[in-house]
Amino acid sequence: WSRAALDLAHGLQAQGHQVTALVAHASASGLREQVVLRSETRILSNPLAVLVDAYKVWQALKRLQPDVVHVIAEPYALLQPFGDWKTWITVHGSYGAIPFCGPWFVRVLMSRALRRMAGIITVSEFTKQYVLEHAAPYLERTMLEKKISVIHNAVDLSRFPAHIAPRAPSKTMNILSVGAVKPRKNILTSLKALTLLRDAGIQFQYHIIGSIQQVPQYVEDIRRTILAYSLTNSVNIHGDVGEDALKQAFAAADVFLMPSSPEGLQVEGFGIVFLEANAWGIPVVGPRSGGCPEAIKDGATGFVVDPADAQAIADALQKILLDGAIDPQQCRRWAEAHDHERISAQVLAVYNQAQR
């Protein structure tokens, strides 16, 4: 959410618009911020928190008098106050369904919020269908379809090198994963695929970057699997790292790997991180599930595979690492097609269409 919100906001600012962010925590975002929210999990479980925070948001909007209100993190749509502000929502993935499977007050408030929205933006065609499937029992499907526009996530290319630096030849390939370490990221299947690479004689270092605090038991399962597969010297769990260390990891990577797998209602609605890897000229391997096939140009910027098929993952990695099947320049061009200024222009067009 935060990355998508920042890239969109900075894209809108670059086109001369003023953006104020209502946030839960102050940050060095470069935006005007007002701290009026609390965590989204509290909103989804506590009717009193909804009432209190809705009042805070209403007060903030009365002071700001915005032309547009855009809800970037879906649960905060529950706080949509009374008023005449034109409001949009971006639905990223899992939260296209979760509110409609939650407590009664969440279902009622989310239905009301979507009904009052000037427009709904989904980050992929997959997410659009996900919303229609789960919201249609509560809202008229035709009304929903008319409101939904599909606009892919953006990537702010100013955060990346202007040109792709050639990588020095190496006998050891660097494989990178970035994201919170939890079951949906499917790292256990990735490890199984890596044993197949090792058995094929390919030398590699696999770097896992991202929070290891969310599901500690899953992290322990990963550590045990690393030992069981004798991958101790080839797999590195870094946890959260700073911005400089993250940039170094991307700069050194030969391939980005994230074969996410749906876990109940939890799905990848798009996958900005694939575009971020492509912005470095790094080919990617991702899943043929959720919205990820829309973030990956199969055969051009990477490969989409069955996330449960370790052999398919290993084959895709081998095509990239040994056969040079993916051109880094193609990866960069795909990221450029999703630059935040281009995508924010599409969002502006959606705003303006509803204003007419």
Please write down the HEC assignment for all residues of the chain: CHHHHHHHHHHHHHCCCCCEEEECCCCCCCCEEEECCCCHHHHHHCHHHHHHHHHHHHHHHHHHCCCEEEECCHHHHHHCCCCCCEEEEEECCHHHCHHHHCCHHHHHHHHHHHHHCCEEEECCHHHHHHHHHHHCCCCCHHHHHHHEEECCCCECHHHCCCCCCCCCCCCEEEEEEECCCCHHHCHHHHHHHHHHHHHCCCEEEEEEECCCCCCHHHHHHHHHHHHHCCCCCCEEEEECCCHHHHHHHHHHCCEEECCCCCECCECCCCCHHHHHHHHCCCCEEEECCCCHHHHCCECCCEEEECCCCHHHHHHHHHHHHCCCCCCHHHHHHHHHCCEHHHHHHHHHHHHHHHHC
* Cβ atoms of residues 123 and 148 within 8 Å: no
The whole-number pLDDT of residue 80 equals: 83
- What do you get for the CA distance between the two ends of the chain, in Å? 29
- Confidence (pLDDT) at 356: 55
Q: What is the spatial distance between Cα 63 and Cα 115, in angstroms, rounded to a whole number?
A: 25
Give residue 86's pLDDT: 92
- In this predicted structure, what is the pLDDT of residue 12? 92
Please provide the size of the chain in residues: 356
Q: What is d(CA 69, CA 20) in angstroms, rounded to the nearest whole number?
A: 10
Neighbours of 244 (CB within 10 A): 8
What's residue 260's pLDDT? 95
Measured CA to CA, the distance from residue 115 to residue 267 in angstroms comes to: 24
Query: Residue-wise pLDDT tens for the chain (356 aa)?
Result: 788 899 899 999 988 999 999 998 888 888 899 999 888 877 888 888 888 899 999 999 999 999 999 999 999 999 987 778 899 999 999 988 999 998 999 999 999 999 999 999 999 999 999 999 999 999 999 999 999 999 999 999 998 998 887 877 788 999 999 999 999 999 999 999 999 999 999 999 999 999 999 999 999 999 999 999 999 999 999 999 999 999 999 999 999 999 999 888 888 999 999 999 999 999 999 999 999 999 999 999 999 999 999 999 999 999 999 999 999 999 999 999 999 999 999 999 999 987 65
C-alpha closest to that of 3 among 185, 208, 275: 275
Residue with tokens 């005449």: 84
Angstrom distance (rounded) from CA 287 to CA 42: 31
Cα torsion through 54, 57, 63, 69, rounded to 10: -120
Axis crossing angle, helix 216-228 with helix 187-199, rounded to the nearest 10:
10
The per-residue pLDDT for 257 is: 98
* Cα separation, 348 vs 325, whole angstroms: 37
Cα separation, 255 vs 301, in Å, equals 11
139 touches 110 (CB < 8 A)? no
pLDDT at 353: 85
Q: Is 324 exposed, middle or buried (0-12, 13-18, 19+ CB in 10 A)?
A: exposed
Cα separation of 70 and 68, whole Å?
6
CA 103 to chain centre: 25
* pTM for this model (two decimals): 0.91
